[in-house]
Chains A and B, each alone.
Chain A
């Protein structure tokens, strides 16, 4: 197909490009290029008609140029690119909306960015430390257990002993064990292992059994989840009325179910 004018030539080229949204840009770019060449010829004193002929000849067969351009402006890639642009916009809007409306573990209490939140139970009780009637011992037990994909550790524990004999003239000594139970996991989306809060039981070296918080008429272990990181959760638990003669206490975070029976031992003496 012969082109008689620049616009003819451009239309033939653009008709060959199947990805329609690109046609305007291609038309504009080639048109600018051809106009520049026209201007060059006119400066050289070539007549307008001859300049057109020269430019069209220099640009080549429009059908061939159009076919080549079509190959480099593949429709599937073009539409995919358009779709990807819209996808980014929509997802960005959704992201903003989700931040404003979601449960938002990134900002909610005790969640991802609350790593600096300190150890409440210890802090409150340390305020009473070192009086005549009170003493505390801090432990860093070296114990690990694995349960349902969580690696359980006790980073710290503290035994608080209250000796009321000094003030009441009675031989009354009671002890409470405070501890942090940490559940590490590999997946950021692993859920809060609520079983720790409700199922954990314990036994000590004297054979005393400590019920879970949700078990029975006489619960012995209390506590709450207190901290969450991308790869861990932490619970603060406390066990009042620990036997003061106990040399160790063993926690069973999975409860008494034989299938879940894992042990974390804290050596007290």
Chain B
């Protein structure tokens, strides 16, 4: 005697599959189905936002750095693709925004490089707020005894993302390690580090689309905190 019809067996199989899929999701600690969603969830974990990302910096492998902001702070969140293509958040940092009349510059901390990173030699610096309507900008920053420069185009949401290329390859020799140490010190602009201000001055030059210099200004890097 057949206990169930084919229709009933099919429905039963689907119910079992849905239950198992939920179990898989639970086993993976309920990951998100998109990088954006993982980023929004991580903001809620720290009781901020949630604000949608306005910019993504792709990292090596399957991770991304998501950039967002609200009226008080710039939010950086690291997300990565885990097993079965599901996204999880990794870490979140916030940076105080000065106010809308002052420009804020943010150096992406070392944490971004903890996962097999292609940014190891490309240090991003983000510049927000009160940025002239320039098409291009140059950034100059003195780190240790070296002066670095980078150019960037204005992004969709009116900010600039500069990538500084490190001068020495990572070969464990003194020059590369001292360079990395200088960068690392700069990234630790954090009250937690007993008030030591590693910050440095950043010079920005803004150009219009015909490469005509519009403005030059100096500012210091914004301090970070884990929210």
- CB-CB under 8 A from A103, the residues of chain B are 27-29, 82
Q: Quick check: A254 and B47 within 8 Å, CB to CB? A: yes
List B30-48 residues whose CB lies under 8 Å from chain A.
Answer: 30, 41-42, 44-48
Interface-centre pick from A87, A102, A148 (highest chain B CB count, 10 A): A102
* A259, chain B: closest CB distance, angstroms: 9
Q: Quick check: A193 and B47 within 8 Å, CB to CB? A: yes
- CB-CB under 8 A from B25, the residues of chain A are 189
Q: Quick check: A84 and B13 within 8 Å, CB to CB? A: yes
Q: Quick check: B46 and A199 within 8 Å, CB to CB? A: yes
CA distance A144 to B226 in the complex (A): 26
- The reply on A77 being an interface residue by CB < 8 A is yes
Interface residues as binary, A73-87 with B (CB distance below 8 Å gives 1, 0 otherwise): 000011011001101
Q: Is the interface of B mostly helix, strand, loop or mixed?
A: helix
- The reply on B227 being an interface residue by CB < 8 A is yes
- The reply on B171 being an interface residue by CB < 8 A is no
**Provided the pairs A199-B227, A217-B194 are in contact, do residues A94 and B47 lie with their beta carbons within 8 angstroms?**
no
- The reply on A57 being an interface residue by CB < 8 A is no
- The reply on B60 being an interface residue by CB < 8 A is no
- The reply on A20 being an interface residue by CB < 8 A is no
Q: How many residues of B contact A (CB 8 A)?
A: 36
Interface-centre pick from B14, B17, B42, B225 (highest chain A CB count, 10 A): B17
Q: Quick check: B47 and A148 within 8 Å, CB to CB? A: yes
Chain A interface size band reads: 35 or more
**Provided the pairs A195-B227, A198-B46, A216-B191 are in contact, do residues A91 and B20 lie with their beta carbons within 8 angstroms?**
yes
Q: Quick check: A101 and B83 within 8 Å, CB to CB? A: yes
**Provided the pairs A87-B17, A214-B192 are in contact, do residues A102 and B28 lie with their beta carbons within 8 angstroms?**
yes
**Provided the pairs A78-B6, A102-B27, A216-B191 are in contact, do residues A191 and B45 lie with their beta carbons within 8 angstroms?**
yes
Please, which residue of chain A has its CB at the minimum distance from the CB of B44? A148
Interface residues as binary, A14-57 with B (CB distance below 8 Å gives 1, 0 otherwise): 00000000000000000000000000000000000000000000
Residue of A88, A94, A194, A214 touching B84 (CB-CB under 8 A)? A94
Could you name 21 residue pairs across A and B whose Cβ atoms are closer than 8 Å?
A: A77-B6, A77-B7, A84-B17, A91-B16, A91-B24, A94-B24, A98-B23, A103-B27, A103-B28, A105-B30, A106-B27, A148-B44, A149-B44, A188-B26, A191-B30, A191-B45, A194-B46, A195-B45, A195-B46, A216-B192, A257-B47
User: What 4 A-B pairs are tightest by C-beta distance, nearest first?
Assistant: A84-B13, A189-B30, A195-B47, A102-B27
Which residues of B are in contact with A by a Cβ distance under 8 Å? Answer: 6-7, 9-10, 13-14, 16-17, 20-21, 23-30, 41-42, 44-48, 72, 82-84, 191-192, 194-195, 225-227
